[in-house]
Amino acid sequence: MADFSRVKDLLERQRPGGEVAVRGWLRSARHSKDVSFLDLSDGSCLAGIQVVVPRDLVDHAAELRKLGTGSAVEVRGELVASPARGQSLEIQAGAVELVGDVAEDYPLQKKRHSFEFLRTISHLRPRTNTIGAVLRVRNCAARAIHRFFQDRGFVYLQTPIITESDCEGAGELFRVSTLDPSKPPRDAQGEVDFSQDFFGKQAYLTVSGQLEAEIAALALTNVYTFGPTFRAENSNTSRHLAEFWMIEPEMAFCDLAGQMDLTEEFLKEIFQTMLDECTEDLEFFNKRIDKTVLATLEHIVESPFERIDYTEAVAVLEKCGRDFEYPVRWGLHLQSEHERYLTEVHIGRPLIVTDYPRAIKPFYMYVNDDGKTVRAMDVLVPKIGEIVGGSQREHRLEELDIRLEECGLAPRDYWWYRDLRRHGSVPHSGFGLGFERLVQFATGMENIRDVIPFPRVPGFAEF
Ligand code: 4AD
Ligand code: MG
């Protein structure tokens, strides 16, 4: 390992000189009369390094002449100045060794493939420029997120993936069961008897780590989660996944205003870090995918997020004269076309909408004094719509019980959540950021399925 360099480190060297060794996969191989040109990538950066293989070296081994795209090689040689345009250094090979077999019928060609096609070869698509860049951007964003919270003393909390509760109350749960689906045990009423199931109760994949994060925040003050969440919503859109990653900070002694300030500071710092630390990849997206991403990110980092409440947002939408597909009326959900109008046309930058009607929000949100709205907030950004959803939590037991009943939930199922309200209950708030929505926004990728290594969506869970 030690004597092999990463392509990134070699390309970053300012000057030629020295014997080097690299290994990776060929993105292209061109064999001419006197010489072969290999474009070798190890995924450490967007560019590959050009390897020039003299004819006598190729002649040595018949297999080297067959080297083509997709094959893996180890190269030793000298780092020299490159006469070719667009690169300052290349390797003059002294030895080239094929690792594994020569790739045959390699489906990735130098031409551009559609993202739909690439999804059918998710085992190879990380080797493309775009998906390779996506994976590096994800890594950069994840590092920035952990750094943001760690710098501020937040404790990273691992919340369970298997749960009994539907935090968001939307009924979009995937069941976790070991019962035989063809002949499940039945009770006297003929219903499936889940007391005989693995957990002795119905269990599901979690839609959110929030409820458990609240438990930890009421002991450690500031915590955050960063984990997978699952939603069985049957929406085949470019912004929904059945499995996605969510970041959920939870802060004790914090109200909605404090939470909004933190959210804004958080998003700005993450975008700034991405601009600073994945510059090359973001420039690639700006050039090849969406010409506005860099300007948009730079603009966001500099300008304050607008804040308006739901009631005002509805008034704006009612007056704007647009013909929306879905109706606009106080009490109804804002659809993504409405969200996009608000952020793209009305404000022209990120926007925080607050204080939604209680009837369209989950049981855990703090009820405002008006009795009609709750202390919820959504951050809306151009092209995506909602990227963050959060709220101040209902920390008053009496109010919570009213909300549980309103939402048709049994208080005994939430006994521990209620009990927390009896032992040192304090105002607390948090939010959830969809990691893939963040990456989609920053890269300008059209479809959320192309910003996660292995998308899970209705009808598809291969790889
Ligand atoms: O607004 P949501 O449902 O909020 C919660 O789950 C709260 N428990 C968060 C909290 O307060 N701790 O989801 C949060 C975010 C959304 O804003 C969106 O970015 C993302 O999660 N999201 C999805 N991303 C991809 N695919 C899906 N199906 C998503 N559903 C939500
Ligand atoms: Mg939401």
**pLDDT tens digits, one per residue of 395-421:** 999 999 999 999 999 999 999 999 999
Asked whether the predicted pLDDT for residue 125 surpasses 50, the reply is yes
Residue type, position 444, single letter = G
Rounded to the nearest angstrom, the distance between the alpha carbon of 433 and the centre of ligand 1 is 6
Lowest mean pLDDT of 5-14, 108-117, 224-233, 272-281, name the range: 108-117
Token pair belonging to 209: 């780590």
CA 453 – CA 124 distance, rounded (Å): 11
Pick the residue whose CA is nearest to atom 24 on ligand 1.
Answer: 434
Rounded to the nearest angstrom, the distance between the alpha carbon of 153 and the centre of ligand 1 is 24
Rounded to the nearest angstrom, the distance between the alpha carbon of 406 and the centre of ligand 1 is 22
Angle between helices 256-277 and 129-151 (to 10 degrees): 130
Pick the residue whose CA is nearest to atom 30 on ligand 1.
Answer: 240
Residue type, position 51, single letter = V
Average pLDDT of span 240-246: 97
Pocket-testing residue among 377, 378, 437, 441, ligand 1, by greatest number of atoms within 8 A of Cβ: 437
Pick the residue whose CA is nearest to atom 4 on ligand 1.
Answer: 389
Give the Å distances, CA to CA, from 98 to 23, 75, 125, 243, 251: 10, 9, 22, 38, 54
Q: What's the pTM value of the predicted model, to 2 decimals? A: 0.96
Do 182 and 114 touch, CB atoms closer than 8 A? no
Asked whether the predicted pLDDT for residue 449 surpasses 90, the reply is yes
Q: How confident is the model at residue 2 (pLDDT cuts 50, 70, 90)?
A: low
CA 333 – CA 271 distance, rounded (Å): 28
Per residue in 253-269, pLDDT tens? 999 999 999 999 999 99
pLDDT at 1: 47
Pocket-testing residue among 172, 207, 208, ligand 1, by greatest number of atoms within 8 A of Cβ: 208
pLDDT at 85: 84
Per residue in 136-193, pLDDT tens? 999 999 999 999 999 999 999 999 999 998 889 888 999 999 999 999 999 999 999 9
Ligand 1 site residues, Cβ closer than 6 angstroms? 167-168, 208, 210, 231, 233, 240-241, 244, 246, 248, 386-391, 430-432, 434, 436-437
Tokens 């559609």 belong to 114
Q: Reduced to 3 states, what is the DSSP secondary structure of residue 438? A: helix
